[in-house]
Amino acid sequence: MNTAELVRALEITMHRKMQPILNNPIRPYIENIGDLGRHNILMGPRGTGKTTLMFQEAQNRKILYFSADDIRIPPDGVYDIVEEAFGIGYEGVFIDEVHNAADWDRLLKTLYDNYIDKMIWASGSSSLRVRSGIGETARRYLDREIPLMSFREYLEMKTGVRYKNVEDPFTYTPDFSVDSMFLSHFESYKREGFLPLFVTGNYDMRLLDCVEKIIGMDIPFFIPELNGKHIKLMRDVLRFLSTSNIPRIKTSGLTSQWGISYDKLIQLLYVMESTGLISIVPAEGDPNERFSKSKVFLTNPSLYFLLGSNEGNFREALTVLSFTSAGMEIRSSAKEEDGDFTVTTKAGDKVLLEVGGKSKAFKASDFVIRDKIDYPAPHVIPLWVLAMMW
């Protein structure tokens, strides 16, 4: 089909996909995101709501949405589609999965320069290749990262009650009753609350589908020379992290077991991090950020329950996610006998944390994070408080 016919076909696809998505409850982050302006790159893990945000903005407006991975679009055909859309009166175009387009960063810069008065949004994976181009496009496009869901969002979607953002967990006191129902919701959040997929049911299967698409589609796109052995290794890493008592990866053992080079292993692990599968937490005070001293967690904590569950690692993974999502730096402790993590607060203070269950001891930490408790106490923070920080 020619470009004009393709645009008409993409219009039909857009409307067919839009209504079922917008008919479902929408996560508060998306609903309350505000005016993002004309030129944006939406990034984040699969399932966080990037497409929903595009559809929400596009409804009732003359905006063409399409995905760059649509099989009907030639590898270098995105520019022609945009040109045709603007030529027939569209005010904007939203390009999903933009990293599938040939020379995507050059494409976006050219579109901006040629259609500066038009609305142009794009979305892509939180990947090394996508991030590699952000520096060149930063002056043209706003880079917006869509995070995993907070406990606050989950509560609002489940109960309709809106809770305030916890700005400082170290001084926080709740102004509401932390009853058994509230804590029950937190237990549900642990297993299904990090992606808005839970509203349509089958959260576990849909989460696994997201993981498989990242491993089978996203990562091979960013590392073209990937083979079946590498994919099996990545699945092995996820299984190991889900059950290991010590969240560290012995690179020497993996290189020997799988017959790959150290450089290839490190490349795989960092792409796994950039696509939202794992979070690598370097050790405090390690200037080289050596991988052997880093703690490694599943980025979406609910994967621990899905893949076998180590509850201790789940708690630490949620701690890492919470402080990272709140914009604070977190490092694994240089001395584990003193505590688990060091957090740099927004004021620049260093705080040593220990993380565990409801009876967890302090060790030498400044604060202890305890799961399965209701209210804060002096230097004691309930785990649920951290999940309200963003």
Mean pLDDT over residues 176-198, rounded?
97
Distances, alpha carbon 371 to alpha carbons 81, 316, 318, 375, in Å: 52, 10, 11, 11
pLDDT of residue 131: 52
User: Looking at the structure, do residues 174 and 298 belong to the same domain, yes or no?
Assistant: yes
Q: How confident is the model at residue 323 (pLDDT cuts 50, 70, 90)?
A: very high
Q: How confident is the model at residue 60 (pLDDT cuts 50, 70, 90)?
A: confident
282 and 184, same structural domain? yes
Residues 87 and 43 grouped into a single domain: yes
**Domain count of the chain?**
2
Residues 197 and 122 in one domain: no
Q: Are 324 and 332 in contact (CB under 8 A)?
A: no
Provide the percentage of residues in the chain whose pLDDT is more than 70.
95
> At residue 33, does pLDDT exceed 90?
no
End-of-domain residue from the set 102, 128, 145: 145
- Choosing from 145, 164, 182, the residue where a domain stops is 145
* CATH number of domain containing 71: 3.40.50.300
Q: Which residues are within 8 A (CB) of 348 and not within 5 positions of it... i.e. 6 or more apart?
A: none
Domain of residue 337 covers 151-386
CA distance 38 to 387: 32
Same domain, 131 and 177: no
Q: What is the pLDDT of residues 258-288, one digit of tens each?
A: 889 999 999 999 999 989 999 999 998 876 6
In tens, the pLDDT along 201-226 reads 899 999 999 999 999 888 887 788 88
- Do 42 and 54 touch, CB atoms closer than 8 A? yes
Looking at residue 133, its pLDDT comes to: 54
Give the confidence band of 177 by pLDDT, cuts at 50, 70, 90.
very high
Residue 379 has pLDDT above 70, yes or no: yes
pLDDT digits (tens, 9 = 90+) for 80-89: 999 999 999 9
Q: 129 and 201 in one domain?
A: no
